[in-house]
Structure 1
Amino acid sequence: MKTKLCFVYGIITILFLNLFISSSFASPIEPDISAEAAILIEIDSGEILYEKNANAPMYPASTTKIMTALLALEHLNLEDKITVPEDMGPADGSAMYLLPGEVFTVRELLDGLLVKSANDAAVLLARTISGDIQSFATLMNQRAKDIGCANTSFANPNGLHDPSHTISAHDMALIAREAMKNATFRELVSQVNVTLNETPQTPEKRYFRNTNRFLWSTSKIIYNNEYIPIKYEVVDGIKTGYTGEAGNCLVSSGKKNDIRVISVVFKASGYDVYRDSRLLLDYGFDNFEKKTLIKKDTVLGSQPINYSSQGSLEYGTKENFVVPYLKSSLPVYNTKIMLNDLKLPISKGDIVGKLVISNDKSTNELTLFALNNVESIFNFNFIKQIFTYNSSSILKYLGYSLSSLFVLFIGFRYYVYCKRKKRLKRKSYRKLY
């Protein structure tokens, strides 16, 4: 009877432990996103934390202006002045209502572009950079390719509907990540309000409030079965978008608990774009943390070098490699070291290869640098080392031995000289007496 009871208790204990272990390390529940396409990435590594139809071509609407602003910051100076041309014409949709002859700085046009989401500002910046819209669209597509986008086809600088103007959520996240590296861009997209001064053509000030309600709105959304304000303190940008064909679109950036993420939501309905975006942001904040896999200036490996006085090369990186990972698991990555064709001499700090770090979601490359000097044995410095404190024992003793033999030789010669001198002196004494 006791044996049976022990067996039953053992089974119950095992089941309890299995339940405890599985619940402790269970994967988090992914957010229920209503939008047609969405993605969440960690900004430093580009690691994908969540995705839904992330590579499907979508209409981006005014989130297109992220790329327009990035190119303006890369090709123009903020204080450059631009005059509105006579053939500018009226703009469709949201606009600054630019009038021919008005003069604005690039900074003012970027305020209108990213805060007001002005379509005419996008056109004026595009024409200033490339001369015409088609040439600017070519520039946009080339820059997107440079960033790593694979499903992008820009046709205009503002996102007004064009059947050929499409981009995937993943590509938009890559572009947003690139733009957020620019300090001026980060400042521009975080502004709640901007004011532009009067011009001779427009005698009133222009007041704009950011179209991104995450930054200011007290309107309510249903979130986790509660009514809460749209405004979310952790969000610091970046861009909204809407057309009838694209639906509501939103690219958001936020930081909490030392982790910064970017979310992209395409084709949502109404305020659901904010609900979906917050679900993504909080999913990242609540379930992920960061771990340093590679520390800068740490020896990652040693490579024997033939005919070198040091014997081997030590190498490492000049930057930390930090990755996000689920709190309930540890990150698993594959690493591959690829050294260059190494030739002597090698100086500390020289680039000697690369480290490829990959998993099933991303691939990253880090440059490897020499952490020590490596010199050929066939050089003056190596011979000089024979007589230095840092030489190996054998070489040091060899140096001491040679020095000792030299001293003994000089001493012996002096001894012979003295004996000979004494003998000559005795001969001279005998002759005198």
Structure 2
Amino acid sequence: MKPIIQTLFLFILSFMMAFPNLAYAMEEDEAISLHSEAAILIDAATGAVLFDKESDRLMYPASITKIVTGILAIEDGNLDDIVTVSEKARNIDGTRVYLLEGEQVPLLKLVQGLLINSGNDAATAIAEHMDGSEAQFAERMNRFVRETIGVKNTTFQNPHGLFDENHQTTAYDMAKITQYAMKNSLFRSIVGTKEMEWIGEGWETTLYNHNKLLWRYEGTTGVKNGFVNESGNTLVASVQRGESEWIAVTLKADSAESAYSDMETLFDYGFAQFETRQVSLPPALLEAYQDRFVIPQQLTFTSRKDENFVIQINESSGQLVVSSLDGTTLYSEELETREGAHVQSMKPIKSPDNSEGTSMEKKATSFKLSASTTFVLTILITFAFLIIRKRMKRKNAL
């Protein structure tokens, strides 16, 4: 019985050696427990997905809808325009900045009330000013997210996020929308504003940003929260530390505190496990390729913390590839081929030290084995060991 147990132990050990990342991935999933029904964490610079929980599931967004309304007003509108508030805007349900019918307000101020205080009245006033009605503005929103940003599973019916059964999005789509919006410096400034004096005809107060993560999590740069009964608590947030900025989306948490707690869990995980790498490639380093391809001066990609990597150029296809030492592709780009270029084979590129002083000239194996090949070889070695051990016992017995 003892040899069988030993054999089983060695078999299990061989399996773990062949697939070292399997147990690690299981531990990661178990380590992240969220209250929200759907969530995603991405790198704001590269769009790489760092964590995913049902991010393609159709959900109700509530007021995170205003991210789209805000960026459209900034990019498509004239922020110096004076907007006249309608009766409909004055009487809209939900959170407001208490605009009065007939009140005239600069478009920029409405965007601030929209994104900082989640004013539904500001959202309706913006939509009516830009397109005449909420319905017409919703058509603009849908064209924008599909054609400009490229997301496919979002349909908006209004500019504020009040419940409509056909007003739906996904965590993934909202992450991509926010990634786009946060590249606009004015949008970024507004959603990162903690407080603002508001002087209107019907309300004079200090607006405090509804996104409480700005106060409770170091490095938070934005962006928006939401709630209606049907959507539960929704939240989109961005956090920057050093060279890395993450964007996270959580949908349908049972309380605001659960949504904030989930955000903190996601960001803690992201900063503990990943980093955004910016690697400069001096022209002198790539002299062998300059006559064939247009080489970028800097690469930006997402990797595991302190992960070693190698850069290669496939001269037959013109593809630049950054991969980890286990063969995982971290970044790829089709290079522009210079006229009359001569093509050869794929060669590893030595590279300079990155910003953290970690040299990319790290030693890598000259060949790679697939997981299945490694597994088979390990099993063969294990059984060879057992056979040798058995023969040695017989020899000793003689």
TM-score above 0.5, yes or no: yes
Question: What SS does structure 1 have at the residue aligned with 2:142?
Answer: helix
Distance 1:329 1:315, change over 3 A: same
Alignment correspondent of 1:243: 228
Report the secondary structure of 1:33's partner residue.
coil
Greater relative CO, 1 or 2 (CA 8 Å, sep 6+): 2
Q: Report the 3-state secondary structure (helix = DSSP H, G, I; strand = E; otherwise coil) of the residue aligned with 2:75.
A: helix
Deviations 1:142-185 (A, max 9, x none): 11112121211111111100000000100000000000000001
1:172-191 matches, within 5 Å, as 172-191=174-193
Whether contact under 8 Å (1:119, 1:158) holds in the other structure is: yes
Which residue of structure 2 aligns with residue 155 of structure 1?
Answer: 157
8 Å Cα contact 2:311-2:321 kept in structure 1: no
Written as runs of structure 1 = structure 2, the 5 A alignment for 1:295-374 is 295=281, 299=286, 302=289, 313-318=291-296, 320-327=298-305, 329-330=307-308, 368=336
Aligned to 1:422: none
**Does the 8 A contact of 1:197 with 1:205 survive in 2?**
yes
Could you list the per-position Cα deviations for residues 320-360 of structure 1 after superposition, in whole angstroms to 9, with x for gaps in the alignment? 22111123755699977798xxxxxxxxxxxxx98688999
- Judge conservation of contact 1:354–1:368 (CA < 8 Å) in 2: no
Alpha-carbon spacing, 1:114–1:255, altered in 2? closer, same or farther (3 Å): same
Indicate conservation of the 8 Å contact 1:39/1:265, yes or no.
Answer: yes
Q: Distance in 1 between matches of 2:245 and 2:150?
A: 20
Over 3 Å counting, the alpha-carbon distance change for 1:68 and 1:232 in structure 2 is: same
Q: Any conservation in 2 of the 1:338–1:355 contact (CA below 8 Å)?
A: no
Aligned to 1:285: 271
SS at match of 1:39: strand
Residues 155 and 233 of structure 1: CA distance in aligned 2, closer, same or farther (over 3 Å): same
The equivalent residue for 1:130 is 131
- The answer to whether residue 253 in structure 2 is matched with residue 268 in structure 1 is yes
SS at match of 1:157: coil
CA distance in 2, matches of 1:32, 1:333: 35
Please tell me the root mean square deviation across aligned C-alpha atoms, in Å. Answer: 3.7
Q: Give, in angstroms, the shift of residue 198 of structure 1.
A: 3.9
CA contact (8 A) 2:43 2:247 kept: yes
Contact 1:47–1:362 under 8 Å retained in 2 = no
Give, as a single letter, the amino acid of the residue that structure 2 aligns with 1:368.
E
Q: Indicate the SS of the match to 1:38.
A: strand
Match in the other structure for 2:80: 79
Q: In structure 2, do the counterparts of structure 1 residues 264 and 366 end up closer, same or farther at CA, with 3 Å as the change threshold?
A: farther
Instruction: Give, in angstroms, the shift of residue 318 of structure 1.
Output: 4.2
Equivalent residue of 1:59, what SS?
Answer: coil
**What is the identity percentage for the equivalent residue pairs of Structure 1 and Structure 2?**
34
C-alpha separation in 2, matches of 1:101 and 1:184 = 27
Query: 1:130 and 1:61 mapped to 2: Cα distance?
Result: 21
Deviation at 1:295, TM superposition (A): 3.4
CA distance in 2, matches of 1:137, 1:361: 39
Relative to 1, partners in 2 of residues 1:148 and 1:205: Cα closer, same or farther, differing over 3 Å? same
Counterpart of 1:234 (choices 219, 236, 241) is 219
Residue 136 of structure 1: how far off its partner (Å): 1.1
Give the match for residue 348 of structure 1: none
Larger radius of gyration: 1
Q: Distance in 1 between matches of 2:243 and 2:225?
A: 25
- Match of 1:197, as an amino acid? I
Instruction: Give the whole-Å Cα distance in 2 for the aligned partners of 1:248 and 1:366.
Output: 41
More deviation, 130-139/149-158 = 130-139
2:59 corresponds to: 58
Greater CA drift, 289-298 or 75-84: 289-298
CA contact (8 A) 1:154 1:164 kept: yes
Give the counterpart letter for 1:241 in structure 2. Answer: G
Once the two structures are TM-superposed, the CA of residue 111 in structure 1 deviates from its matched residue by 1.2
Structure 1's 56 and 361: CA in aligned 2 closer, same or farther, altered over 3 A? farther
Pairwise CA distance, 1:29: 2.1
Name the amino acid aligned to 1:266. L
- Correspondence 1:34-49 to 2 at 5 A: 34-49=35-50
Distance 1:331 1:32 in 2: 30
SS at match of 2:73: helix
Does the Cα contact within 8 Å between 1:214 and 1:235 map onto a contact in 2?
yes
Distance in structure 2 (CA, Å) of the matches to 1:296 and 1:94 = 53
Q: Structure 1, residues 363-401: CA drift from partner, whole Å, max 9, x if none?
A: 86566375xx989xxxxxxxxxxxxxxxxxxxxxxxxxx
Q: Provide the residue aligned with 2:92 in structure 1.
A: 91
Q: Which amino acid aligns with 2:336?
A: L
Contact 1:257 1:285 in 2 (8 A): no
Check whether the contact 2:79–2:108 (CA below 8 A) recurs between aligned residues. Answer: yes
1:362 CA drift (Å): 9.1
* Structure 2 residue aligned with 1:413: none
Structure 1 regions of 5+ residues with no counterpart? 1-7, 217-230, 303-311, 340-352, 376-433
Cα distance in 1 for residues equivalent to 2:176 and 2:213: 21
- Cα distance in 2 for partners of 1:22, 1:360 equals 14
Partner SS, residue 36 of structure 2: coil
- Kept in 2, the 8 Å contact 1:141–1:152? The answer is yes
In structure 1, the residue corresponding to 2:98 is in which secondary structure?
coil
Shift of the alpha carbon at 1:301?
7.0
Report how far residue 40 of structure 1 moved. Answer: 0.1
Q: TM-score, normalised by structure 1?
A: 0.65
TM-score (norm 2): 0.71
Indicate the SS of the match to 2:263.
helix
The count of residues paired between Structure 1 and Structure 2 equals 322
